[in-house]
Amino acid sequence: AQSVSQHNHHVILSEAASLELGCNYSYGGTVNLFWYVQYPGQHLQLLLKYFSGDPLVKGIKGFEAEFIKSKFSFNLRKPSVQWSDTAEYFCAATSGTYKYIFGTGTRLKVLA
Amino acid sequence: DTGVSQNPRHKITKRGQNVTFRCDPISEHNRLYWYRQTLGQGPEFLTYFQNEAQLEKSRLLSDRFSAERPKGSFSTLEIQRTEQGDSAMYLCASSPAGPRNLEQYFGPGTRLTVT
């Protein structure tokens, strides 16, 4: 069955620390991958997406993600987090359909 | 900038009652999606529309759930004979036609509490 896994459920970092959130998917064939962010009290917002081409994609607010096909991974990274990055982050995937499958999310808390 | 809007934002109902939620997508977005999110989980797909046609439904969408998008604009999600297990956040999203058709824009959600 198609699935998306996020193994880090809670992450706590100090400001200026580097961030990497894991995302693994199980899909056959072509896959489209997304990272969404949900700030406290706000709705889900698209951070970045991968459809094809360069496996390193850059999104808003300094975030980037790397698609590694051999590892079925699409990890989210940011070299230096800020307090304002405190949020919940969701990885999502779709393949040949408009239906997204989401991971369970990672709650990031950045300490000032 | 008018994003996806959902009404009501919160709904408390007693078990056995019917509830209806409304979603207004971003104008000119031809696809509209419904998801359900429970505590500690990511959103789970329920159904989606392309214009007024309902093209895919999840097995999560039991017979008590029905969604409509009669004129290809706003959509309603109705839950009949609510159960406590229906308590969740119901999210609506929309996406445009064309090359960005896989980018879904989410609304704030309707939080349903069934007592």
Mean pLDDT calculated for residue range A60-73: 95
Chain B residues near any Cβ of chain A (below 8 Å): 3-4, 31, 33, 35, 40-45, 48, 55-56, 58, 91, 93, 95, 101-109
Output the domain CATH number for residue A11: 2.60.40.10
For position B1, what pLDDT does the model report?
Answer: 54
Which residues from A are below 8 Å from B34, CB to CB? none
The pair of structure tokens assigned to B65 is 């759930």
User: Per-block average pLDDT, block size 10, for chain B (115 residues)?
Assistant: 90 98 95 95 95 91 93 94 97 91 94 98
For residue A46, give its domain range. 3-111
At a CB cut-off of 8 Å and minimum separation 6, what does B108 contact? A42, A43, B4, B5, B6, B9
| Domain tally, chain A | 1
Q: Do the chains contact at A97 and B42, CB–CB below 8 Å? A: no
Q: In percent, how much of chain A has pLDDT > 70?
A: 100
Per the CB < 8 A criterion, the answer to whether A3 and A101 are in contact is: yes
